[in-house]
Amino acid sequence: MSPIFAIVDCNNFYVSCERVFNPKLAGKPVVVLSNNDGCVVARSDEAKAISIKMGVPVFKISNLIKTHEVQVCSSNYALYGDMSQRVMTTLSEFTPDIEIYSIDEAFLDLSRFKRYNLTDYGHRIRSTIKKWIGIPVSVGIAETKTLAKIAGRIAKKSEKTGGVLDLTASPYLDRALAITDVEDVWGVGRSYSRFLKENGIKNALQLRDAGDSFIKKRMGIVGLRMVRELRGVACYSLERCLPPKKGITVSRSFKDSIKTLTEMKEAVAAYVSIGATKLRKERSAAGVIMVFLMTNRFQQERHYFNLETIQLPVPTSDTSELIQYAHEGLKKIYMKGYLYKRVGVMFKDLVPDGQIQSIFFDRRDRKRSEKLMLVLDRINDRMGSGTLKYAAVGLGRNQRWQTVFERRSPAYTTNWDQLLKVS
Ligand SMILES: [Mg+2]
């Protein structure tokens, strides 16, 4: 039985988040800037229409900004992260089979809904997220992840679809592939697309019908999988998140790849902090911590994945202790010279915090740590998550984790003081 995948992708996610809380931005060209207000990292459709390009430094478009009254926002990752979580939680009400693929995208396995009209189901997902959270999404449905991605792209671009396109057993499948540039096929990327175009393969349809041996010789097994996926043979399955009872996983794909150990350590510290807060909310402690990292899986030449498992002497939910162990693990698996796309931590062997067996040589002051964590959680609950954090996360440095946000919108959803006021 062939599976059915859906990709749910938030449209212009950062801009859409800003618009939820600032209706004045509706219908106008809007851009969101990167850390330190340097480059454009998100654009509304209106901004795309006046050809503001992704990644362009803001000083280069100052004229456009003036003439078209472009609204400029600093990035507000606390807001986007929280909105993302809301979207994902809502999606998991439609099916438990969900893979959070990035901050604004998730794959769903809809195989169990085969008997329903999948287009209707897609529209239900779309309208629920719009109504509950205020974010517009596109939904692409197909028999493989790669085809679902193509369906999602067209659903976003073509108004006729109303934001949802189901390509399972569709008479429009070939047409959809023909209008998809080969560069836009999931995983093809710049360098492969140049090579493919040189060989007369310009769109997804031509790639689907390319010869196996040619593809295998020039693009290896990864290329062969791409082609098979285009033919409707699922080669990639849903990478489910771990069930919450058995463990807690915190992991994100980076928008831009990360190279240095310093940045990786900050990311790991940030994820451990999030996970440890969750642990304490559930009143549990972790007996095992796992750290993993990976490069972009589509760069087959330089692909690297590794995972380190650390057995803790005493189960703990103490943020600083967990960061310390996670950093030890990270150092073992980090290799210089790779461009990392994702890093994550998993807490496993969870035990209720009342049942922790202490060991004789435990030199940590557990009572003191408990009190400290209680204070930390209380302050962060009240003042917004991240008000108090460990220096390992990268306090006050001009980096990804802590930067200058001149025109940042308030943390509407995570900070009581910045709640939207209705006058
Ligand atoms: Mg998106």
Percentage of the chain beyond pLDDT 90 is 49
- Other beta carbons less than 10 A from residue 108's beta carbon: 26
Q: In the prediction, which pLDDT does 419 show?
A: 56
Q: Give the 3-state secondary structure of residue 59.
A: helix
Q: Which amino acid is at 28?
A: K
- State the total domains in the chain: 1
Range of the structural domain that residue 388 is part of: 248-393
In the DSSP assignment, the letter for residue 110 is -
Beta-sheet pairing, 105-109 with 5-10: antiparallel
Task: Give distance in angstroms: CA of 374 to centre of ligand 1.
Answer: 37
Output the pLDDT for position 123.
97
Q: Is 89 a member of any domain?
A: no
Expressed in angstroms and rounded, the spacing between residue 283 Cα and the centre of ligand 1 is 35
Query: Does the residue 83 lie in any domain?
Result: no
Residue 256 within a domain = yes
Element (H, E) at 142: strand 137-142
| Look-up of token digits 């771990």 | 242
How far is it, in rounded angstroms, from Cα 238 to Cα 245? 19
- Please answer whether residues 286 and 316 qualify as being in contact, where contact means their C-beta atoms are separated by less than 8 angstroms: yes
Instruction: State how far the Cα of 291 lies from the Cα of 65, in Å rounded to an integer.
Output: 43
Does residue 403 carry a pLDDT above 70? no
d(CA 54, CA 270): 27
**CA 368 distance to own-chain centroid:** 36
Domain membership of residue 181 (yes or no) is: no
- Expressed in angstroms and rounded, the spacing between residue 138 Cα and the centre of ligand 1 is 8
In a domain, 5, yes or no: no
Q: Is 59 contained in some domain?
A: no
Q: How many CA atoms lie within 13 A of 131 on its CB side?
A: 7
Of 80, 64, 84, which is closest to residue 72 (Cα–Cα)?
64
- Separation of 106 CA from ligand 1 center, angstroms? 10
Q: How far is the CA of 391 from the centre of ligand 1 (A)?
A: 31
* pTM over the 0.85 mark: no
Tens of pLDDT, residues 110-161: 999 988 899 999 999 999 999 999 999 999 999 999 999 999 999 999 999 9
Rounded to the nearest angstrom, the distance between the alpha carbon of 13 and the centre of ligand 1 is: 5
Q: Is 269 part of any domain?
A: yes
> What is the tens place of the pLDDT at every residue in 193-229?
999 999 999 999 999 999 999 999 999 998 999 999 9
Per-residue pLDDT of 101-117, as tens digits, reads: 888 999 999 999 988 89
Flag whether pLDDT at 327 surpasses 90: yes
Rounded Cα–Cα distance for residues 47 and 203 (Å): 27
pLDDT tens for 332-364 read: 999 988 888 888 898 988 887 765 655 555 666
3-state secondary structure of 256: strand
Q: 31: CA distance to ligand 1 center in Å?
A: 14
Is residue 36 pLDDT above 90, yes or no?
no
Q: Has residue 369 been placed in a domain?
A: yes
Query: Under a CB-based contact definition with an 8 Å cutoff, are residues 119 and 22 in contact?
Result: no
Alpha helices per DSSP H over 59-104: 62-67, 77-91
The rounded Å distance from CA 80 to ligand 1 centre is 12
Cβ atoms within 10 Å of 123's Cβ, excluding its own = 15
Percent of the chain whose predicted confidence (pLDDT) is above 70: 84
Q: Measure 170 CA to ligand 1 centroid, in angstroms.
A: 24
Q: Smallest Cα–Cα separation from 290: which of 242, 355, 233?
A: 242
For residue 423, name the pLDDT band (cuts at 50, 70, 90).
very low
The whole-angstrom separation of Cα 216 and Cα 111 is 30
More confident call, 379 vs 345: 345
Amino acid in the structure at residue 338 = Y
Spacing, Cα 11 to ligand 1 middle (Å): 5
Report DSSP state, residue 53: P
- When pLDDT is cut at 50, 70 and 90, the band that residue 85 belongs to is confident
State the Cα–Cα distance between residues 174 and 207, nearest whole angstrom. 12
Q: Cα separations (Å) of 63 from 45, 60, 68, 97, 253?
A: 19, 8, 9, 47, 34
Compute, in angstroms, the gap from residue 137 CA to the centroid of ligand 1: 8
* Cα–Cα distance, 20 to 90 (Å, whole number): 17
For residue 314, how far is its CA from the centre of ligand 1 (angstroms)? 41
Instruction: Give me the CATH number covering residue 351.
Output: 3.30.1490.100
> Which strand (E) or helix (H) includes residue 176?
helix 173-178
**Mean confidence (pLDDT) of the chain:** 85
- Identify the pLDDT of residue 78: 76
pLDDT confidence tier of residue 396, bands split at 50, 70 and 90? very low
- pLDDT higher than threshold 90 for residue 43: yes
pLDDT in tens, 260-315: 898 899 889 989 988 998 888 888 889 889 998 888 766 545 677 788 888 888 88
- Cα–ligand 1 centroid distance for 23 (angstroms): 20
User: What confidence score (pLDDT) does residue 37 get?
Assistant: 73
- On whether the CB atoms of residues 79 and 405 are closer than 8 A, the answer is no
Encoded tokens for 107? 């794959």
